[in-house]
Chain A
Protein backbone atom coordinates (compact mmCIF):
# COMPACT_ATOMS: atom_id res chain seq x y z
CA UNK A 1 0.00 0.00 0.00
CA UNK A 2 1.24 3.46 -0.84
CA UNK A 3 0.49 6.39 1.45
CA UNK A 4 1.10 10.02 0.66
CA UNK A 5 2.55 11.67 3.77
CA UNK A 6 2.52 15.44 4.34
CA UNK A 7 4.68 17.19 6.91
CA UNK A 8 3.52 20.69 7.86
CA UNK A 9 6.78 22.33 8.86
CA UNK A 10 5.01 25.40 10.21
CA UNK A 11 5.69 28.37 12.47
CA UNK A 12 2.99 28.43 15.17
CA UNK A 13 2.15 31.76 16.74
CA UNK A 14 2.79 31.60 20.47
CA UNK A 15 -0.41 31.31 22.48
CA UNK A 16 -2.78 32.10 19.59
CA UNK A 17 -5.00 29.07 19.03
CA UNK A 18 -7.37 30.83 16.61
CA UNK A 19 -4.52 32.00 14.41
CA UNK A 20 -2.84 28.61 14.43
CA UNK A 21 -6.08 26.87 13.59
CA UNK A 22 -6.28 28.95 10.42
CA UNK A 23 -2.69 28.01 9.55
CA UNK A 24 -3.62 24.34 10.02
CA UNK A 25 -6.64 24.73 7.74
CA UNK A 26 -4.48 26.37 5.06
CA UNK A 27 -2.01 23.49 5.24
CA UNK A 28 -4.87 21.01 5.00
CA UNK A 29 -6.10 22.62 1.77
CA UNK A 30 -2.61 22.68 0.27
CA UNK A 31 -2.01 19.10 1.35
CA UNK A 32 -5.28 17.95 -0.24
CA UNK A 33 -4.26 19.66 -3.48
CA UNK A 34 -1.19 17.44 -3.44
CA UNK A 35 -3.09 14.27 -2.65
CA UNK A 36 -1.86 13.89 0.91
CA UNK A 37 -3.45 11.01 2.87
CA UNK A 38 -1.90 11.76 6.28
CA UNK A 39 -0.77 15.23 7.33
CA UNK A 40 1.46 15.57 10.40
CA UNK A 41 1.87 18.83 12.32
CA UNK A 42 4.67 19.61 14.82
CA UNK A 43 4.60 19.34 18.61
CA UNK A 44 2.25 21.95 20.11
CA UNK A 45 1.37 23.11 16.62
CA UNK A 46 -1.82 24.72 17.98
CA UNK A 47 -0.07 26.83 20.62
CA UNK A 48 3.64 27.31 20.06
CA UNK A 49 6.20 25.75 22.33
CA UNK A 50 7.02 27.89 25.39
CA UNK A 51 3.47 28.56 26.50
CA UNK A 52 4.40 28.89 30.18
CA UNK A 53 1.61 30.62 32.10
CA UNK A 54 -0.57 30.57 28.98
CA UNK A 55 -1.13 26.83 29.44
CA UNK A 56 -4.67 27.05 30.93
CA UNK A 57 -5.74 29.59 28.30
CA UNK A 58 -4.63 27.60 25.28
CA UNK A 59 -5.60 24.10 26.41
CA UNK A 60 -8.15 22.08 24.45
CA UNK A 61 -10.53 19.58 26.03
CA UNK A 62 -11.77 16.37 24.48
CA UNK A 63 -14.15 15.38 27.30
CA UNK A 64 -16.52 18.23 26.47
CA UNK A 65 -17.55 19.91 23.21
CA UNK A 66 -14.72 21.95 21.75
CA UNK A 67 -14.97 23.99 18.58
CA UNK A 68 -11.38 23.40 17.47
CA UNK A 69 -11.52 19.67 18.07
CA UNK A 70 -14.81 19.53 16.17
CA UNK A 71 -13.22 21.31 13.21
CA UNK A 72 -10.34 18.85 13.04
CA UNK A 73 -12.72 15.92 13.33
CA UNK A 74 -14.65 17.30 10.39
CA UNK A 75 -11.48 17.90 8.37
CA UNK A 76 -10.33 14.36 9.09
CA UNK A 77 -13.10 13.06 6.85
CA UNK A 78 -10.93 14.41 4.03
CA UNK A 79 -7.48 13.23 5.21
CA UNK A 80 -5.89 11.87 8.37
CA UNK A 81 -4.29 14.41 10.72
CA UNK A 82 -1.79 14.47 13.56
CA UNK A 83 -2.20 17.72 15.51
CA UNK A 84 -0.11 18.94 18.46
CA UNK A 85 -1.89 20.73 21.30
CA UNK A 86 -2.17 21.30 25.05
CA UNK A 87 -4.68 18.75 26.37
CA UNK A 88 -6.56 19.32 29.62
CA UNK A 89 -8.14 16.23 31.13
CA UNK A 90 -11.31 15.98 33.23
CA UNK A 91 -9.36 16.58 36.42
CA UNK A 92 -7.54 19.72 35.34
CA UNK A 93 -4.20 18.21 34.40
CA UNK A 94 -2.42 19.58 31.37
CA UNK A 95 -0.50 17.43 28.90
CA UNK A 96 1.56 18.04 25.81
CA UNK A 97 -0.47 15.96 23.39
CA UNK A 98 -0.87 14.67 19.86
CA UNK A 99 -4.23 13.62 18.50
CA UNK A 100 -4.60 11.35 15.48
CA UNK A 101 -7.81 12.32 13.67
CA UNK A 102 -9.35 10.12 11.01
CA UNK A 103 -12.75 9.76 9.36
CA UNK A 104 -14.43 12.18 11.71
CA UNK A 105 -13.04 10.78 14.96
CA UNK A 106 -10.09 10.96 17.29
CA UNK A 107 -8.42 7.58 16.84
CA UNK A 108 -5.74 8.05 19.47
CA UNK A 109 -4.30 10.66 21.83
CA UNK A 110 -0.72 10.46 22.99
CA UNK A 111 0.45 12.40 26.06
CA UNK A 112 4.14 13.29 26.07
CA UNK A 113 5.92 10.87 28.41
CA UNK A 114 9.24 12.59 28.93
CA UNK A 115 9.12 16.28 29.82
CA UNK A 116 12.57 17.83 29.52
CA UNK A 117 13.23 20.00 32.53
CA UNK A 118 16.88 20.85 32.30
CA UNK A 119 19.08 23.40 30.57
CA UNK A 120 16.73 25.62 28.50
CA UNK A 121 13.73 23.34 29.06
CA UNK A 122 11.09 23.76 31.76
CA UNK A 123 8.23 21.47 30.76
CA UNK A 124 7.58 19.71 34.08
CA UNK A 125 6.82 23.06 35.62
CA UNK A 126 3.71 23.33 33.48
CA UNK A 127 2.74 19.84 32.32
CA UNK A 128 1.83 16.42 33.68
CA UNK A 129 3.70 13.38 32.40
CA UNK A 130 1.89 11.04 30.06
CA UNK A 131 1.47 7.56 31.46
CA UNK A 132 1.04 5.16 28.59
CA UNK A 133 2.53 4.34 25.24
CA UNK A 134 0.23 2.50 22.85
CA UNK A 135 0.25 1.67 19.17
CA UNK A 136 -3.05 2.16 17.36
CA UNK A 137 -4.69 1.00 14.15
CA UNK A 138 -5.22 3.41 11.29
CA UNK A 139 -6.55 2.91 7.79
CA UNK A 140 -2.89 2.75 6.75
CA UNK A 141 -1.80 0.12 9.25
CA UNK A 142 -0.67 0.22 12.84
CA UNK A 143 1.24 3.28 14.01
CA UNK A 144 2.67 4.90 17.12
CA UNK A 145 3.14 8.55 18.07
CA UNK A 146 5.90 10.08 20.17
CA UNK A 147 6.68 13.68 20.98
CA UNK A 148 10.21 15.12 20.95
CA UNK A 149 12.02 13.99 24.13
CA UNK A 150 9.92 10.77 24.05
CA UNK A 151 11.97 9.51 21.14
CA UNK A 152 15.30 10.40 22.73
CA UNK A 153 14.49 7.50 25.07
CA UNK A 154 14.70 4.19 23.31
CA UNK A 155 12.05 2.46 25.43
CA UNK A 156 8.91 4.20 24.07
CA UNK A 157 9.94 3.55 20.48
CA UNK A 158 10.77 -0.04 21.34
CA UNK A 159 7.43 -0.53 23.11
CA UNK A 160 5.53 0.84 20.13
CA UNK A 161 7.46 -1.52 17.87
CA UNK A 162 6.52 -4.44 20.10
CA UNK A 163 2.93 -3.19 20.18
CA UNK A 164 2.77 -3.54 16.42
CA UNK A 165 3.60 -0.08 15.11
CA UNK A 166 5.22 -0.20 11.69
CA UNK A 167 5.16 3.56 11.28
CA UNK A 168 6.52 5.85 13.98
CA UNK A 169 5.00 9.32 13.87
CA UNK A 170 7.35 11.70 15.65
CA UNK A 171 6.92 15.41 16.04
CA UNK A 172 8.83 18.07 17.89
CA UNK A 173 9.48 21.69 18.68
CA UNK A 174 13.21 21.27 18.74
CA UNK A 175 15.21 24.42 19.49
CA UNK A 176 18.51 24.70 17.67
CA UNK A 177 21.77 24.54 19.56
CA UNK A 178 25.34 23.56 19.00
CA UNK A 179 26.78 25.79 16.29
CA UNK A 180 30.14 24.41 15.19
CA UNK A 181 31.78 23.92 11.80
CA UNK A 182 29.22 21.32 10.69
CA UNK A 183 26.70 21.98 7.94
CA UNK A 184 23.92 21.53 10.53
CA UNK A 185 23.59 22.38 14.21
CA UNK A 186 24.85 19.55 16.39
CA UNK A 187 21.36 19.27 17.91
CA UNK A 188 19.95 18.56 14.44
CA UNK A 189 22.61 15.97 13.70
CA UNK A 190 21.75 14.22 16.95
CA UNK A 191 18.03 13.99 16.20
CA UNK A 192 18.66 12.79 12.66
CA UNK A 193 20.98 10.08 13.92
CA UNK A 194 18.30 8.91 16.33
CA UNK A 195 15.64 8.84 13.60
CA UNK A 196 17.88 7.01 11.20
CA UNK A 197 18.80 4.49 13.89
CA UNK A 198 15.12 3.77 14.61
CA UNK A 199 14.44 3.19 10.94
CA UNK A 200 17.32 0.71 10.84
CA UNK A 201 16.88 -1.02 14.18
CA UNK A 202 13.09 -1.33 13.97
CA UNK A 203 12.99 -1.84 10.19
CA UNK A 204 10.10 0.64 10.24
CA UNK A 205 9.11 3.98 8.77
CA UNK A 206 10.10 6.97 10.90
CA UNK A 207 8.18 10.12 10.09
CA UNK A 208 9.34 13.29 11.85
CA UNK A 209 7.81 16.76 11.70
CA UNK A 210 9.71 19.57 13.42
CA UNK A 211 8.62 23.20 13.55
CA UNK A 212 10.42 26.35 12.47
CA UNK A 213 10.43 29.96 13.66
CA UNK A 214 11.70 31.77 16.73
CA UNK A 215 10.52 32.10 20.32
CA UNK A 216 12.48 34.73 22.14
CA UNK A 217 16.07 33.89 21.17
CA UNK A 218 15.50 30.24 20.33
CA UNK A 219 15.36 29.09 16.72
CA UNK A 220 13.48 25.95 15.71
CA UNK A 221 15.34 24.18 12.96
CA UNK A 222 12.75 22.31 10.89
CA UNK A 223 14.51 19.68 8.80
CA UNK A 224 11.47 17.37 8.91
CA UNK A 225 12.21 13.98 7.46
CA UNK A 226 11.10 10.47 6.59
CA UNK A 227 13.39 7.48 7.14
CA UNK A 228 12.49 4.21 5.40
CA UNK A 229 12.76 0.69 6.90
CA UNK A 230 16.28 0.42 5.44
CA UNK A 231 17.38 3.39 7.53
CA UNK A 232 17.72 5.72 4.54
CA UNK A 233 16.31 9.23 4.33
CA UNK A 234 13.45 9.25 1.83
CA UNK A 235 12.77 12.89 2.50
CA UNK A 236 14.82 15.58 4.11
CA UNK A 237 13.18 18.97 4.51
CA UNK A 238 14.91 22.32 4.43
CA UNK A 239 16.16 23.80 7.66
CA UNK A 240 14.65 26.87 9.33
CA UNK A 241 12.06 27.59 6.62
CA UNK A 242 8.33 27.01 6.55
CA UNK A 243 7.35 24.23 4.19
CA UNK A 244 4.72 21.66 3.35
CA UNK A 245 6.71 18.54 2.54
CA UNK A 246 5.05 15.69 0.69
CA UNK A 247 6.44 12.20 0.20
CA UNK A 248 4.83 8.94 -0.79
CA UNK A 249 5.83 5.90 1.24
CA UNK A 250 5.38 2.29 0.15
CA UNK A 251 4.28 0.14 3.08
CA UNK A 252 5.25 -2.98 1.10
CA UNK A 253 8.85 -1.95 1.76
CA UNK A 254 8.30 -3.20 5.33
CA UNK A 255 7.90 -6.73 3.98
CA UNK A 256 10.85 -6.51 1.62
CA UNK A 257 13.20 -5.16 4.30
CA UNK A 258 12.05 -7.61 6.94
CA UNK A 259 12.42 -10.54 4.51
CA UNK A 260 16.06 -9.54 4.18
CA UNK A 261 16.60 -8.49 7.78
CA UNK A 262 14.30 -10.31 10.27
CA UNK A 263 15.08 -8.17 13.32
CA UNK A 264 11.44 -8.02 14.30
CA UNK A 265 10.99 -11.81 13.92
CA UNK A 266 14.02 -12.48 16.12
CA UNK A 267 13.31 -9.86 18.75
CA UNK A 268 12.78 -11.38 22.24
CA UNK A 269 10.47 -9.19 24.32
CA UNK A 270 10.05 -12.07 26.81
CA UNK A 271 13.76 -11.92 27.49
CA UNK A 272 13.53 -8.16 27.90
CA UNK A 273 10.69 -8.57 30.38
CA UNK A 274 12.49 -11.23 32.44
CA UNK A 275 15.70 -9.26 32.62
CA UNK A 276 13.91 -5.99 33.30
CA UNK A 277 11.93 -7.62 36.11
CA UNK A 278 15.16 -8.95 37.59
CA UNK A 279 16.89 -5.56 37.23
CA UNK A 280 13.96 -3.74 38.79
CA UNK A 281 13.77 -6.21 41.68
CA UNK A 282 17.47 -6.07 42.36
CA UNK A 283 17.49 -2.30 42.28
CA UNK A 284 14.37 -1.71 44.34
CA UNK A 285 15.25 0.56 47.20
Chain B
Protein backbone atom coordinates (compact mmCIF):
# COMPACT_ATOMS: atom_id res chain seq x y z
CA UNK B 1 0.00 0.00 0.00
CA UNK B 2 1.34 3.42 -0.86
CA UNK B 3 1.98 5.59 2.15
CA UNK B 4 0.77 8.66 0.29
CA UNK B 5 -2.50 7.18 -0.92
CA UNK B 6 -5.82 8.48 0.32
CA UNK B 7 -6.45 5.13 2.00
CA UNK B 8 -3.28 5.16 4.09
CA UNK B 9 -3.68 3.01 7.22
CA UNK B 10 -4.97 4.74 10.35
CA UNK B 11 -6.06 1.76 12.42
CA UNK B 12 -3.08 1.89 14.80
CA UNK B 13 -3.81 5.48 15.85
CA UNK B 14 -6.55 4.59 18.34
CA UNK B 15 -4.04 2.43 20.24
CA UNK B 16 -2.12 5.63 20.92
CA UNK B 17 -5.09 7.36 22.59
CA UNK B 18 -4.26 8.88 25.95
CA UNK B 19 -6.08 10.04 29.06
CA UNK B 20 -5.49 13.75 28.54
CA UNK B 21 -6.38 14.70 32.14
CA UNK B 22 -3.74 12.32 33.46
CA UNK B 23 -1.22 13.59 30.90
CA UNK B 24 -1.97 17.18 31.89
CA UNK B 25 -1.52 16.37 35.57
CA UNK B 26 1.86 14.70 35.02
CA UNK B 27 3.18 17.31 32.59
CA UNK B 28 2.11 20.38 34.56
CA UNK B 29 3.67 18.81 37.65
CA UNK B 30 6.86 18.23 35.68
CA UNK B 31 6.97 21.87 34.61
CA UNK B 32 6.33 23.19 38.12
CA UNK B 33 8.91 20.84 39.59
CA UNK B 34 11.63 21.74 37.07
CA UNK B 35 11.14 25.46 37.49
CA UNK B 36 11.13 25.14 41.29
CA UNK B 37 14.35 23.08 41.21
CA UNK B 38 16.01 25.86 39.21
CA UNK B 39 14.95 28.28 41.95
CA UNK B 40 12.76 30.17 39.48
CA UNK B 41 9.08 30.87 38.93
CA UNK B 42 8.87 31.64 35.26
CA UNK B 43 9.09 30.07 31.84
CA UNK B 44 9.88 31.69 28.51
CA UNK B 45 9.09 30.10 25.19
CA UNK B 46 8.80 30.75 21.52
CA UNK B 47 5.24 30.83 20.21
CA UNK B 48 5.13 30.03 16.52
CA UNK B 49 1.40 29.80 16.02
CA UNK B 50 1.69 26.01 15.62
CA UNK B 51 0.17 23.29 17.73
CA UNK B 52 3.31 22.19 19.62
CA UNK B 53 4.22 25.55 21.07
CA UNK B 54 0.53 26.22 21.74
CA UNK B 55 0.24 23.01 23.80
CA UNK B 56 3.45 23.87 25.62
CA UNK B 57 2.05 27.34 26.40
CA UNK B 58 -1.28 26.00 27.69
CA UNK B 59 0.50 23.47 29.92
CA UNK B 60 2.93 26.13 31.17
CA UNK B 61 0.13 28.57 31.96
CA UNK B 62 -1.75 25.83 33.84
CA UNK B 63 1.39 24.84 35.73
CA UNK B 64 2.80 28.25 36.61
CA UNK B 65 -0.05 30.72 36.16
CA UNK B 66 -0.26 32.85 33.01
CA UNK B 67 1.56 35.70 34.75
CA UNK B 68 4.65 33.50 34.92
CA UNK B 69 4.78 32.56 31.26
CA UNK B 70 6.45 34.87 28.76
CA UNK B 71 5.94 33.96 25.13
CA UNK B 72 7.95 35.40 22.28
CA UNK B 73 6.92 35.59 18.67
CA UNK B 74 10.02 35.65 16.47
CA UNK B 75 8.96 36.06 12.84
CA UNK B 76 11.28 36.20 9.88
CA UNK B 77 10.28 38.36 6.92
CA UNK B 78 8.94 35.30 5.06
CA UNK B 79 6.94 33.98 8.02
CA UNK B 80 3.23 33.80 7.38
CA UNK B 81 0.95 36.49 8.77
CA UNK B 82 -1.46 33.76 9.88
CA UNK B 83 1.20 32.32 12.19
CA UNK B 84 1.41 35.62 14.02
CA UNK B 85 -2.37 35.79 14.28
CA UNK B 86 -2.64 32.23 15.57
CA UNK B 87 0.00 32.97 18.17
CA UNK B 88 -1.95 36.09 19.11
CA UNK B 89 -5.06 33.95 19.68
CA UNK B 90 -3.13 31.85 22.23
CA UNK B 91 -1.71 34.92 23.95
CA UNK B 92 -5.18 36.46 24.28
CA UNK B 93 -6.91 33.27 25.33
CA UNK B 94 -4.40 32.60 28.13
CA UNK B 95 -3.64 36.21 29.05
CA UNK B 96 0.11 35.72 28.65
CA UNK B 97 2.70 38.41 28.56
CA UNK B 98 4.38 38.48 25.18
CA UNK B 99 7.08 40.04 23.09
CA UNK B 100 7.57 40.12 19.35
CA UNK B 101 11.21 40.05 18.27
CA UNK B 102 11.64 40.13 14.52
CA UNK B 103 14.70 38.04 13.67
CA UNK B 104 15.16 39.29 10.09
CA UNK B 105 17.75 42.01 10.90
CA UNK B 106 19.78 39.51 12.95
CA UNK B 107 19.56 36.66 10.45
CA UNK B 108 19.94 38.43 7.11
CA UNK B 109 23.55 39.63 7.44
CA UNK B 110 24.76 36.02 7.76
CA UNK B 111 22.52 34.79 4.95
CA UNK B 112 23.71 37.60 2.67
CA UNK B 113 27.33 36.69 3.35
CA UNK B 114 26.75 33.35 1.52
CA UNK B 115 24.58 34.08 -1.54
CA UNK B 116 24.16 30.43 -2.57
CA UNK B 117 22.83 29.37 0.83
CA UNK B 118 20.23 26.56 0.77
CA UNK B 119 16.83 26.89 2.42
CA UNK B 120 17.89 24.28 4.97
CA UNK B 121 20.89 26.37 6.05
CA UNK B 122 18.73 29.47 6.25
CA UNK B 123 16.16 27.60 8.30
CA UNK B 124 18.83 26.40 10.72
CA UNK B 125 20.12 29.95 11.18
CA UNK B 126 16.59 31.16 11.95
CA UNK B 127 16.00 28.35 14.45
CA UNK B 128 19.32 29.14 16.17
CA UNK B 129 18.64 32.86 16.24
CA UNK B 130 15.34 32.11 17.99
CA UNK B 131 17.26 30.01 20.54
CA UNK B 132 19.65 32.93 21.16
CA UNK B 133 16.72 35.27 21.61
CA UNK B 134 14.99 32.90 24.05
CA UNK B 135 18.11 32.34 26.14
CA UNK B 136 18.68 36.08 26.31
CA UNK B 137 15.13 36.55 27.59
CA UNK B 138 15.68 33.62 29.93
CA UNK B 139 18.51 35.54 31.58
CA UNK B 140 16.68 38.87 31.49
CA UNK B 141 13.54 37.47 33.13
CA UNK B 142 14.80 34.65 35.34
CA UNK B 143 12.79 32.21 33.27
CA UNK B 144 13.57 28.71 32.02
CA UNK B 145 13.38 28.08 28.28
CA UNK B 146 10.48 25.70 27.68
CA UNK B 147 10.81 23.09 24.96
CA UNK B 148 8.13 22.62 22.35
CA UNK B 149 9.39 19.49 20.56
CA UNK B 150 7.18 16.41 20.28
CA UNK B 151 8.23 12.75 20.22
CA UNK B 152 7.64 12.30 16.50
CA UNK B 153 9.95 15.08 15.40
CA UNK B 154 12.49 14.25 18.09
CA UNK B 155 12.70 10.66 16.85
CA UNK B 156 12.77 11.67 13.20
CA UNK B 157 15.41 14.29 13.91
CA UNK B 158 13.17 16.90 12.31
CA UNK B 159 14.73 19.68 14.32
CA UNK B 160 17.72 22.00 14.34
CA UNK B 161 20.46 21.01 16.74
CA UNK B 162 21.09 23.94 19.13
CA UNK B 163 18.07 25.60 17.54
CA UNK B 164 14.59 24.46 18.54
CA UNK B 165 16.25 21.61 20.45
CA UNK B 166 18.18 24.11 22.60
CA UNK B 167 15.92 24.32 25.64
CA UNK B 168 15.99 23.74 29.39
CA UNK B 169 13.20 21.16 29.64
CA UNK B 170 11.02 19.06 27.39
CA UNK B 171 7.43 18.81 28.64
CA UNK B 172 5.86 17.26 25.53
CA UNK B 173 8.72 15.30 23.96
CA UNK B 174 7.24 11.94 24.98
CA UNK B 175 3.97 12.57 23.12
CA UNK B 176 3.52 11.72 19.45
CA UNK B 177 1.98 14.29 17.15
CA UNK B 178 -1.32 12.38 17.21
CA UNK B 179 -1.32 12.61 21.01
CA UNK B 180 -0.37 16.30 20.86
CA UNK B 181 -3.57 16.89 18.88
CA UNK B 182 -5.55 15.00 21.51
CA UNK B 183 -4.17 16.98 24.41
CA UNK B 184 -4.52 20.22 22.41
CA UNK B 185 -8.25 19.61 22.08
CA UNK B 186 -8.54 18.87 25.79
CA UNK B 187 -6.60 22.01 26.75
CA UNK B 188 -8.77 24.22 24.55
CA UNK B 189 -6.12 25.20 22.01
CA UNK B 190 -7.88 27.27 19.28
CA UNK B 191 -9.33 25.01 16.58
CA UNK B 192 -7.58 26.67 13.66
CA UNK B 193 -4.22 25.84 15.25
CA UNK B 194 -5.14 22.18 15.72
CA UNK B 195 -6.44 21.76 12.20
CA UNK B 196 -3.88 23.60 10.07
CA UNK B 197 -1.04 21.80 8.31
CA UNK B 198 2.01 21.65 10.61
CA UNK B 199 4.82 23.89 9.37
CA UNK B 200 8.21 24.98 10.63
CA UNK B 201 7.38 28.22 8.77
CA UNK B 202 11.03 28.65 7.85
CA UNK B 203 10.20 29.60 4.28
CA UNK B 204 7.05 30.51 2.43
CA UNK B 205 4.58 27.67 1.84
CA UNK B 206 6.68 25.12 3.74
CA UNK B 207 4.81 22.24 5.39
CA UNK B 208 6.38 19.55 7.55
CA UNK B 209 4.64 16.71 5.75
CA UNK B 210 5.77 17.90 2.28
CA UNK B 211 9.31 18.21 3.48
CA UNK B 212 9.34 14.87 5.30
CA UNK B 213 7.65 13.08 2.42
CA UNK B 214 5.07 11.34 4.62
CA UNK B 215 2.29 12.27 7.00
CA UNK B 216 2.58 12.55 10.77
CA UNK B 217 -0.17 9.96 11.12
CA UNK B 218 1.91 7.51 9.08
CA UNK B 219 5.10 8.24 11.03
CA UNK B 220 3.31 8.10 14.38
CA UNK B 221 1.87 4.65 13.78
CA UNK B 222 5.17 3.23 12.59
CA UNK B 223 7.18 4.83 15.38
CA UNK B 224 4.69 3.80 18.03
CA UNK B 225 5.02 0.13 17.09
CA UNK B 226 8.80 0.25 16.60
CA UNK B 227 9.69 2.31 19.65
CA UNK B 228 6.97 1.90 22.26
CA UNK B 229 5.80 -1.61 21.43
CA UNK B 230 9.18 -2.99 20.27
CA UNK B 231 7.85 -4.49 17.05
CA UNK B 232 10.41 -5.47 14.41
CA UNK B 233 10.30 -3.61 11.09
CA UNK B 234 8.70 -6.70 9.48
CA UNK B 235 6.07 -6.94 12.21
CA UNK B 236 5.41 -3.21 11.93
CA UNK B 237 4.84 -3.46 8.21
CA UNK B 238 2.48 -6.41 8.65
CA UNK B 239 0.59 -4.78 11.52
CA UNK B 240 0.19 -1.35 9.92
CA UNK B 241 -0.17 -2.26 6.25
CA UNK B 242 2.63 0.13 5.27
CA UNK B 243 5.33 -1.28 3.01
CA UNK B 244 8.41 -2.71 4.67
CA UNK B 245 10.42 -0.24 2.60
CA UNK B 246 8.52 2.68 4.13
CA UNK B 247 8.92 1.33 7.67
CA UNK B 248 12.66 0.96 7.09
CA UNK B 249 12.89 4.46 5.68
CA UNK B 250 11.40 5.85 8.88
CA UNK B 251 13.64 3.70 11.08
CA UNK B 252 16.78 4.68 9.16
CA UNK B 253 15.85 8.30 9.71
CA UNK B 254 15.51 7.71 13.45
CA UNK B 255 18.94 6.07 13.58
CA UNK B 256 20.65 8.66 11.39
CA UNK B 257 19.54 11.47 13.69
CA UNK B 258 20.42 9.86 16.98
CA UNK B 259 23.27 12.34 17.46
CA UNK B 260 20.70 15.08 17.84
CA UNK B 261 19.22 13.37 20.87
CA UNK B 262 22.43 12.76 22.77
CA UNK B 263 25.20 14.85 24.28
CA UNK B 264 28.44 15.04 22.26
CA UNK B 265 30.90 12.23 23.03
CA UNK B 266 33.68 12.99 25.46
CA UNK B 267 37.04 11.33 24.75
CA UNK B 268 37.92 9.38 27.87
CA UNK B 269 41.47 9.47 29.19
CA UNK B 270 41.14 9.86 32.96
CA UNK B 271 39.92 7.46 35.65
CA UNK B 272 36.63 9.25 35.92
CA UNK B 273 35.02 11.08 33.06
CA UNK B 274 31.93 13.20 32.71
CA UNK B 275 29.19 11.21 31.04
CA UNK B 276 31.03 7.87 31.25
CA UNK B 277 31.52 7.19 34.94
CA UNK B 278 30.78 10.52 36.59
CA UNK B 279 27.08 9.87 36.89
CA UNK B 280 24.60 12.14 38.56
CA UNK B 281 21.08 13.12 37.63
CA UNK B 282 20.50 16.56 36.19
CA UNK B 283 18.26 17.10 39.25
CA UNK B 284 20.87 16.23 41.84
CA UNK B 285 21.78 19.74 42.85
CA UNK B 286 19.79 22.87 43.41
CA UNK B 287 16.59 23.30 45.28
CA UNK B 288 13.97 20.77 46.08
CA UNK B 289 11.17 20.33 43.62
CA UNK B 290 7.52 20.75 44.28
CA UNK B 291 4.54 18.77 43.10
Question: Is the CB of B117 closer than 8 A to any CB of chain A?
Answer: no
Contact residues in B for A180 (Cβ distance below 8 Å):
17-19
Looking at A102-110, A136-144, A213-221, the stretch in contact with chain B turns out to be: A213-221
Across the interface, A214 reaches (CB within 8 A) one of B30, B279, B280, namely B30
Chain A 203-225, CB within 8 Å of chain B: the 1/0 string?
Answer: 00000000011111101000000
Q: Which residues, 1 to 38 on A, are CB-close (under 8 Å) to B?
A: 11, 13-16, 19
Question: Is the CB of A242 closer than 8 A to any CB of chain B?
Answer: yes
Are B29 and A54 in touch, CB under 8 angstroms? no
Looking at A127-135, A161-169, A182-190, the stretch in contact with chain B turns out to be: A182-190
Contact residues in B for A19 (Cβ distance below 8 Å):
288
Q: How far is the CB of A127 from chain B (nearest CB, A)?
A: 14
Question: A13 and B288 in contact (CB under 8 A), knowing A53-B280, A179-B18, A181-B19?
Answer: yes
Q: How far is the CB of B267 from chain A (nearest CB, A)?
A: 20
Closest 6 CB pairs of A and B: A214-B33, A13-B288, A52-B279, A53-B279, A181-B17, A216-B281
Give 20 A-B pairs besides A52-B284, A181-B17, A185-B22 with Cβ atoms closer than 8 angstroms: A11-B288, A11-B290, A13-B288, A16-B288, A52-B280, A52-B281, A53-B278, A54-B284, A179-B22, A179-B23, A183-B22, A213-B291, A214-B34, A215-B281, A216-B282, A217-B30, A217-B170, A217-B174, A239-B25, A242-B291
Q: Within the assembled complex, what's the spacing in Å between the Cα atoms of A216 and B26?
A: 13
Q: Which residues, 24 to 60 on B, are CB-close (under 8 Å) to A?
A: 25-26, 29-30, 33-34
Q: How far is the CB of A85 from chain B (nearest CB, A)?
A: 17
Question: Is the CB of B252 closer than 8 A to any CB of chain A?
Answer: no
Contact residues in A for B290 (Cβ distance below 8 Å):
11
Across the interface, B25 reaches (CB within 8 A) one of A14, A54, A240, A242, namely A240
Contact residues in B for A54 (Cβ distance below 8 Å):
280, 284
Which A residues form the contact surface with B (CB < 8 A)? 11, 13-16, 19, 50, 52-54, 176, 179-185, 212-217, 219, 239-242
Across the interface, A179 reaches (CB within 8 A) one of B26, B29, B34, namely B26
Range of interface residues on B (Cβ < 8 Å): 20 to 34
Are B281 and A219 in touch, CB under 8 angstroms? no
Contact residues in A for B289 (Cβ distance below 8 Å):
11, 213-214
Q: Within the assembled complex, what's the spacing in Å between the Cα atoms of A240 and B23?
A: 12
Q: Which residues, 182 to 225 on B, are CB-close (under 8 Å) to A?
A: none
Q: How far is the CB of B144 from chain A (nearest CB, A)?
A: 14
Q: How far is the CB of B56 from chain A (nearest CB, A)?
A: 15
Contact residues in A for B170 (Cβ distance below 8 Å):
217
Question: Is the CB of B283 closer than 8 A to any CB of chain A?
Answer: yes
Chain B 248-287, CB within 8 Å of chain A: the 1/0 string?
Answer: 0000000000000000000000000000001111111000
Q: Which residues, 147 to 163 on B, are CB-close (under 8 Å) to A?
A: none
Contact residues in A for B34 (Cβ distance below 8 Å):
214
Question: A176 and B26 in contact (CB under 8 A), knowing A53-B278, A181-B17, A242-B291?
Answer: yes
In the complex, the chain B residue whose C-beta lies closest to that of A176 is B26
Contact residues in B for A219 (Cβ distance below 8 Å):
26, 29-30
Contact residues in A for B279 (Cβ distance below 8 Å):
52-53
Contact residues in B for A183 (Cβ distance below 8 Å):
19, 22
Are A11 and B291 in touch, CB under 8 angstroms? yes
